[in-house]
Amino acid sequence: MTAEAYETNFRERAERKRTVGVFLFIATGGIWLWLAYQLFAPFSLGYGSSSSRTCASRVFYDEGDSGKRSYADAEGDRCAAARDSADLLATLVVSLPLAAVGLFQYTSGTVSLAMRRHTEELAVLRALPKR
């Protein structure tokens, strides 16, 4: 393998790592946006207009006079079951490894390319005649 082919292969691998990192960040961001929507947006249950019930969001619901009511007490068991906080938390936990791997891939690709450019600049500086 020639030096030029090795250099091209190295740069392609580093760019591929950065690209994979960006796509994992995009996937993680999509999951987090979906979770935010699930937490902050009100929703309705039922398919017909007569049996439809509107539920407040999990974050912004009326706590009542005591201020100690849970979401299930305030909105009802059907609303609490429709947007279960355990399911949302599990989705968040699953998205964290995606974010970590994306961060690692993007960072390692970027550092590899930056170090390669640094090495090239040092080679050019060493090739200059000394004064």
Distance CA 38, CA 87 (A): 11
Q: Please work out, in degrees rounded to the nearest 5, the angle formed at the alpha carbon of residue 93 by the alpha carbons of 74 and 86.
A: 25
The torsion defined by the Cα of 80, 86, 89 and 91, in degrees rounded to 10, comes to -100
Distance CA 44, CA 57 (A): 10
Please write the tens of the pLDDT for every residue from 50-92: 677 888 888 877 776 656 677 777 777 888 888 888 889 999 9
pTM for this prediction: 0.77
* Average pLDDT score, the chain: 87
